[in-house]
Amino acid sequence: MTQPQVTVAAPLLQLNGITKVLKGQEEPRTILSGVDLTVHSGQSVAILGRSGSGKSTLLSLIGLFDRADGGQYSLHGNDITRLPERRAAALRSAEFGFVFQRFFLLKHLTAAQNVAMALVNGQGWSARRKRRQQVMEALEQVGIAHLAKSRPSRLSGGEQQRVAIARALVRQPRIILADEPTGALDTETGNLVIEVLLNTTKRGCGLVLVTHDHDHARKMGRVLELRDGRFN
């Protein structure tokens, strides 16, 4: 009698022994030294740590903004530690959604156009009608579809951050990377934004949240603290 074959899905992302050294005019400074991290589909991870502990550096390595100096980085089981720039750009577009502390909305564009920015990035082309539909779906997910035609200057901080989240969601990424997304918001609005981000994990998205706020961190599935370049 043969036993049924059990297949274990590869983690969304896996970091093994990641190191990063900043080389400037002064002495080289080790920011990350042997970081291990695994995130599965639908998981949420909060990363805490003091300023300068390397949280944002780690997030930029995960988001392929930068390359690690050592260790291995796998995405869906594929080694992407040394990826050429063009492929890294394609992966950023297809796999990741980014939310930053500052919202980085272009003030000359409407909310809808800011969201569409992630669709008009040279990684394929879809018709205007389809783009509009995708944008409206993303805005509906964060509850501000009615503000599609508003410019950022007419929106509150919370609304602007939700536009930024819609921009991160519009390409239906597998992983959301959020770098202190509530840092510029009041507690109530911050809680709302965290709720919106957590909702994405229900659809199978992985969420990595860098924050200083312990209350928000506790809402995540896992909480990790970065100290001296590694997780405690």
Partner 1 sequence: MFSGKLRSALVIGGQGIRARKLRTFLSMVSLFLGVLAIVAVQAGSEIAERAMLTDVELQAGKDGTMMGYIPGEKGAPAIVESTLKGRADAVAMISSQAVIGEPGVRPINEGGMPFEYAGQRGDYNGSMTFCDASGVCHEQKAPEKKPDGQAIEVNMVALTGDIRRFKPFRPVSGSWLDFATAPSLAPRIVLNEEAAKGLDRYRVPGEMMIEGASHHVSPQIIGVVQDGSSTPRVYLRLDELRTWMPAAAETGSSDIGRFRGGSGGTQLEVYLQPGSADLQQLLKAKLVGAGLSQDQLHFNTVNSKERMESELRILRLIFLGMAFLVLLIGVAGILNVGLATVGERVEEFALRRAVGMSRMLLAGIVLAETLLTGLLTAALAIGAGAAGLQIALAMFGSRFPSLQGTAFPWEAGVAGVIAGLVAGVLGGLIPAVRAARIPIATVMRA
Residue among 19, 21, 104, 201 that touches partner 1 (CB under 8 A): 104
Provide the β-strand partners of residue 224.
47
- Number of residues in contact with partner 1 under rule CB under 8 A: 33
DSSP labels for 39-50? E-TT-EEEEE--
Residue among 22, 80, 83, 89 that touches partner 1 (CB under 8 A): 89
Q: Tell me: does residue 122 bind partner 1 (CB under 8 A).
A: yes
Q: Tell me: does residue 56 bind partner 1 (CB under 8 A).
A: yes
**Cβ distance to partner 1 smaller for residue 106 or 215:** 106
Is 221 within 8 Å of 44 (Cβ atoms)? yes
Q: Tell me: does residue 167 bind partner 1 (CB under 8 A).
A: yes
Q: Tell me: does residue 73 bind partner 1 (CB under 8 A).
A: no
Q: Which stretch binds partner 1 (CB under 8 A): 27-35, 90-98, 141-149, 219-227?
A: 90-98
SS3 80: coil
Provide the β-strand partners of residue 85.
none
Is 83 within 8 Å of 62 (Cβ atoms)? no
- Could you give the angle at the alpha carbon of 152 between the alpha carbons of 147 and 156, nearest 5°? 75
Q: Which stretch binds partner 1 (CB under 8 A): 34-42, 43-51, 108-116, 137-145?
A: 108-116
Instruction: Kindly state the tokens that stand for 3.
Output: 């036993």
**Cβ distance to partner 1 smaller for residue 82 or 106:** 106
Beta carbons within 8 Å of 198's beta carbon, 6+ residues apart? 44, 207, 219, 220
> How far is the C-alpha of 194 from the C-alpha of 189, rounded, in Å?
9
- First CA to last CA across the chain, in angstroms? 45
Is 224 within 8 Å of 59 (Cβ atoms)? no
Residue among 35, 46, 68, 100 that touches partner 1 (CB under 8 A): 100
Give residues 125-144 in contact with partner 1 (rule: CB under 8 A).
125
Residue among 86, 129, 202, 218 that touches partner 1 (CB under 8 A): 86
Residue 55 CB, shortest distance to partner 1, in Å, is 10
Give residues 175-214 in contact with partner 1 (rule: CB under 8 A).
179
> How far is the C-alpha of 43 from the C-alpha of 171, rounded, in Å?
19
Residue among 26, 27, 85, 188 that touches partner 1 (CB under 8 A): 85
Other Cβ atoms less than 10 A from the Cβ of 106: the count is 11
Q: Which residues here bind partner 1, judged by CB under 8 A? A: 56-57, 59-60, 63, 65-66, 85-86, 89-90, 92-94, 98, 100, 102, 104, 106, 108-109, 113, 117-118, 120-125, 167, 171, 179
